[in-house]
Amino acid sequence: MKKLLDLLLIFVVMIGTVSVLGCVDVSGKAKSIDTVASDGLIAAVGTHLGEPQDGFNPITGWGYDHEPLIQSTLFKRDSNAVVINDLATGYTISEDGLTWTVDIRDDVKFHDGVPLTARDVAFTFNTAANAATVVDMTMLEKATAIDDNTIEFKLFEPRSIFIHRLVEMGIVPEHSYTGAYGQNPIGSGPYIFKQWDKGQQLILEANPEYYGQEPYFKKLTILFITGDTAFAAAKAGKVDIAEIPSSLADKNVNGMRIVSLDSISARGISFPFEPNTGKKTPHGHPLGNDVTSDIAIRKALNIGIDRQVLVDGPLNGHGQPEFSGVDKLPWGSREAIFEDGNIDEARRILSQAGWVDTDGDGIREKNGVKAEFTLLYPASAQERQALALSISEQAKKMGISIKPEGGSWNKINALAPSTPVIWGWGKLDSSDLYFRYHSESYDPANWNNVIKYNNSKVDQYIEIAMTSSDQDMANENWQLAAWDGQTGFSQNGDAAWMWLATVNCVYLVNEDLDIGTPLIQPFGSDILGNVVEWERI
């Protein structure tokens, strides 16, 4: 049966991508990748990019969390997530933090041959600021081209996080931008848009006028397939690289190797912070939880759960323990990392706080409340289901009963303010900490501070970090928000969340393909972020 399913998947891949692969020659036999295009690359990395409904337009969100390929950005990140120049040659910030001045290169052209100038940059940012998009430009008052190579950004108030917007926003051409831009985009990036077969593939060609490193691969084909289908395509020899679930990482595929990339794609559990007093959210959903509102429960779980067990089991070894959700990022705190898997200490914390199993059923109680709760996860997320089951088994040893339950996102959205949930996060943007932990960010409808966390000292550190004009000072205050020696959102302080692990991005890669030094992978991955470095060996 399994063999039949594999054959069907392969057939689907071949039919769905016939225009890319040229799957059938005159003899009716399948061609190999090398026969199709020795200077081309075929990638089944649909999870990385997804297929944008609005097309490949940075103003509507294309490229905000990954390399846009078609467009250039002012800045980019290296393999350590450090911000470096791209179009920009440098920047300065005024003493009051309200004016950012960015200088750009003078040797860049769009794919139609028109020079890229500061006017295009200003146009891009002003258009984005006036549009409702996934890229938050609310802090930008106006962008102005001072001359061809200098842009001035005026902010409504100081914002250290504006640097992330300068990294995320691909630059579009003022002279040819229309509402239909995303369907046939022109940029200045390493690849030129050639063809989009909706629901199937994106075809790009190398930009001969690119100002950066010349791409080795002259043609890049991205297939919008994932999971088992991507695996079947790799097994059939129809792709150079395929993103696969970690559960398939132990399967051998001739001519291909497994590449497991470290990421910041973290899994963590939100703990409703307030008790259930009958209050409701603005949308009428229940608020608070009588078990997780007790800090002893949150701390015991954080200390008692063995995260390496989660990595070795549910993640099939493809991940790393995670303690703060941002361990690997410049704004992550080393002080938030601790020794876990200490069942004895977890039991001590619970007993000292009055959680005792008085009736001998294996579940602790306190003031008539059982130490038990439901743990929600998206029903379609097998990896999160496996994590929930493993956590439940470990929690039993502490006297805590956790009941894993899969559900729709509608159900999760309604219950998250009152019920713990396993989430996936992983943004290369420090403002994510604001939306998770600042009291005024509370907006459960948009997943912001769903637990209604409130700590005035943490708020203070976050506000300093947000408004600082110095990135080092900003990072220091993000770290203090996690733990300052007395309080913080991490396990040492309020233990507001229980972070579990980061999930590696797993790929099958042709043995003759050198992928250079990949960038740090965000949630959803960015395997093509350094594609200009790739080559055949």
Task: Write out the two tokens for 257.
Answer: 């190797």
Question: In angstroms, rounded to a whole number, what is the distance separating the alpha carbons of residues 57 and 22?
Answer: 29
Angle, CA 136 vertex, CA 132 and CA 138 arms, to 5°: 85
Query: 127, 169 in Cβ contact below 8 A?
Result: no
The phi, psi pair for 462, rounded to 5°, reads -65, -40
Predicted pLDDT at 5: 39
Cα–Cα distance list, 126 to 68, 136, 154, 171 (Å): 19, 12, 11, 11
Task: Write out the two tokens for 3.
Answer: 């063999």
The candidate with the shortest Cα–Cα distance to 167, out of 206, 136, 210, 193, is 136
Write down the residue that tokens 């001359």 correspond to.
Answer: 147
The phi, psi pair for 41, rounded to 5°, reads -130, 135
Write down the residue that tokens 């689907």 correspond to.
Answer: 12
Cα–Cα distance list, 241 to 8, 29, 84, 195 (Å): 20, 22, 27, 20
The phi, psi pair for 250, rounded to 5°, reads -95, 10
State which H helix or E strand residue 193 sits in: strand 191-197
Predicted pLDDT at 28: 29
Helix ranges, 141-216 (H): 162-168
DSSP 423: E
| Through-space distance between the first and last CA atoms of the chain, rounded to whole angstroms | 37
- Per residue in 188-228, pLDDT (tens digit) is 999 999 999 998 999 999 999 999 999 999 999 999 988 89
- Per residue in 61-84, pLDDT (tens digit) is 898 888 899 999 999 998 888 899
Q: Which residues contact 236 (CB under 8 A, 6 or more apart)?
A: 10, 13, 14, 30
- For the chain of 537 residues, list the mean pLDDT of each consecutive stretch of 10: 40 39 29 50 76 89 89 92 94 95 98 98 96 85 98 96 94 96 97 94 96 96 90 95 89 93 94 95 91 98 98 95 95 95 98 97 97 97 95 98 97 96 92 95 90 97 94 96 97 97 94 92 85 94
Task: Write out the two tokens for 6.
Answer: 């594999």
Query: 77, 161 in Cβ contact below 8 A?
Result: no
Neighbours of 146 (CB within 10 A): 13
Query: 71, 192 in Cβ contact below 8 A?
Result: no
The b/e string for 383-400 (b: 16+ C-beta within 10 A; e otherwise) is: bbbbbbbbbeebbeebbb
What domains, with CATH codes, occur in the chain? Answer: 1-51+198-263+505-537 (3.40.190.10), 65-186 (3.40.190.10), 266-503 (3.10.105.10)
Q: Write down the pTM of the prediction.
A: 0.86
The candidate with the shortest Cα–Cα distance to 213, out of 529, 521, 438, is 529
Predicted pLDDT at 180: 94
